[in-house]
Structure 1
Amino acid sequence: MDASVITTTDLRKVYRSRDREVTALDGVDLGVREGEVYGVVGRSGAGKSTLIRCVNLLERPTSGTVEVAGRDLTALAGRSDRAPAALRAARAGIGMVFQHFNLLSSRTVQDNVELPLEILGVSGRARARKAGELLDLVGLSDKARAYPAQLSGGQKQRVGIARALAGDPKVLLSDEATSALDPETTRSVLRLLRDLNRQLGLTVLLITHEMDVVKQVCDSAALMKGGRVVESGTVAELLATPGSELAGELFPVGGQASGPDRTVVDLTFHGDSATRPVISQLARTYNVDISILGAAMETYDGRQIGRMRIELPGRFEDNVVPIGYLREQGLDVAVVPDAPEAVPVTGPVSVTDPVAAPVPAPAPVSTVKETAK
Structure 2
Amino acid sequence: MITTTGLTKVYQSRDREVSALDGVDLHVREGEIYGVIGQSGAGKSSLIRCVNLLERPTSGTVTVAGQDLTALAGRGRRASKELRAARTRIGMVFQHFNLLSSRTVLDNVELPLEILGVSGPERTRKAKELLDLVGLAEKAKSYPGQLSGGQKQRVGIARALAGDPKVLLSDEATSALDPETTRSILQLLRDLNQQLGLTILLITHEMDVVKTICDSAALMQRGRIVESGTVGGLLATPGSELASELFPVGGTASGPDRTVVDVTFHGEAASQPVISQLSRTYNIDISILGAAMDTVGGKQIGRMRIELPGRFEENVVPIGFLREQGLQAEVVEDEKGPRDPKASAATAQSAGTPAATTVPEQTPAAITKEVVK
Partners of 2:250 and 2:241 in 1: CA distance: 13
Aligned length: 353
Q: CA deviation at 1:349?
A: 2.4
Moved more, 212-221 or 171-180: 212-221
Which amino acid is the alignment partner of residue 36 of structure 2? V
34, 39, 45: which one pairs with 2:41? 45
For the Cα contact (< 8 Å) 2:53–2:70, is it kept in 1? yes
For the Cα contact (< 8 Å) 1:242–1:268, is it kept in 2? no
For the Cα contact (< 8 Å) 1:320–1:356, is it kept in 2? no
Q: CA deviation at 1:355?
A: 7.4
For the Cα contact (< 8 Å) 1:108–1:147, is it kept in 2? yes
Cα deviation 1:188-210 (Å, max 9, x = unaligned): 11111111111111110000011
Structure 1 residues 230-269: aligned runs within 5 Å: 230-269=226-265
Which amino acid is the alignment partner of residue 127 of structure 1? R
Over aligned residue pairs, what C-alpha RMSD do you find?
1.4
Q: Quick check: 1:351 aligned with 2:364?
A: yes
Task: Tell me the secondary structure at the aligned position of residue 364 of structure 2.
Answer: coil
Cα deviation 1:118-176 (Å, max 9, x = unaligned): 11111111111111111111111111111111111111101100100000000000000
Partners of 1:258 and 1:119 in 2: CA distance: 66
Which residue number in structure 2 is paired with residue 367 of structure 1? Answer: none
For the Cα contact (< 8 Å) 1:349–1:356, is it kept in 2? no
Give % identity: 78
Partners of 2:278 and 2:170 in 1: CA distance: 46
Which residue number in structure 2 is paired with residue 341 of structure 1? Answer: 338
Task: Tell me the secondary structure at the aligned position of residue 131 of structure 1.
Answer: helix
Moved more, 309-318 or 123-132: 309-318
Structure 1 residues 191-270: aligned runs within 5 Å: 191-270=187-266
Cα deviation 1:71-98 (Å, max 9, x = unaligned): 1001111121110101001001000000
Q: CA deviation at 1:216?
A: 1.1
314, 322, 330: which one pairs with 1:326? 322
Partners of 1:317 and 1:355 in 2: CA distance: 14
For the Cα contact (< 8 Å) 1:316–1:341, is it kept in 2? no
Which residue number in structure 2 is paired with residue 189 of structure 1? Answer: 185
Q: CA deviation at 1:286?
A: 2.2
Which amino acid is the alignment partner of residue 310 of structure 2? G
Which amino acid is the alignment partner of residue 61 of structure 2? T
Partners of 2:192 and 2:364 in 1: CA distance: 49
Structure ranking higher in helix proportion: 2
Task: Tell me the secondary structure at the aligned position of residue 133 of structure 1.
Answer: helix
For the Cα contact (< 8 Å) 1:350–1:356, is it kept in 2? no
Q: CA deviation at 1:278?
A: 1.8
Q: CA deviation at 1:218?
A: 0.8
Task: Tell me the secondary structure at the aligned position of residue 315 of structure 2.
Answer: helix
Which amino acid is the alignment partner of residue 273 of structure 1? A
Task: Tell me the secondary structure at the aligned position of residue 50 of structure 1.
Answer: helix
Which residue number in structure 2 is paired with residue 104 of structure 1? Answer: 100
Task: Tell me the secondary structure at the aligned position of residue 114 of structure 1.
Answer: helix
Task: Tell me the secondary structure at the aligned position of residue 70 of structure 2.
Answer: helix
Partners of 2:9 and 2:359 in 1: CA distance: 37
250, 254, 278: which one pairs with 1:282? 278
Partners of 1:39 and 1:188 in 2: CA distance: 17
For the Cα contact (< 8 Å) 1:315–1:341, is it kept in 2? no
Q: CA deviation at 1:289?
A: 2.2
Which amino acid is the alignment partner of residue 240 of structure 1? A
For the Cα contact (< 8 Å) 2:38–2:220, is it kept in 1? yes
8, 15, 24: which one pairs with 1:28? 24
Task: Tell me the secondary structure at the aligned position of residue 104 of structure 1.
Answer: coil
Partners of 2:121 and 2:99 in 1: CA distance: 22
Partners of 1:197 and 1:272 in 2: CA distance: 26
Aligned in 2, Cα 1:7/1:95: closer, same or farther, shift over 3 Å? same
Partners of 1:272 and 1:57 in 2: CA distance: 42
Which amino acid is the alignment partner of residue 59 of structure 1? E
Moved more, 302-311 or 206-215: 302-311
Which structure 2 segments of 5+ residues have no match?
345-356
Q: Quick check: 1:147 aligned with 2:160?
A: no
Which amino acid is the alignment partner of residue 362 of structure 2? V
Partners of 2:199 and 2:272 in 1: CA distance: 36
Q: CA deviation at 1:259?
A: 2.0
Task: Tell me the secondary structure at the aligned position of residue 219 of structure 2.
Answer: strand
55, 60, 70: which one pairs with 2:56? 60
Partners of 1:328 and 1:264 in 2: CA distance: 18
For the Cα contact (< 8 Å) 1:320–1:349, is it kept in 2? no
Moved more, 300-309 or 101-110: 300-309
289, 292, 295: which one pairs with 2:291? 295
Moved more, 287-296 or 221-230: 287-296
Structure 1 residues 77-156: aligned runs within 5 Å: 77-156=73-152
Which residue number in structure 2 is paired with residue 370 of structure 1? Answer: none
Which amino acid is the alignment partner of residue 345 of structure 1? T
Task: Tell me the secondary structure at the aligned position of residue 310 of structure 1.
Answer: strand
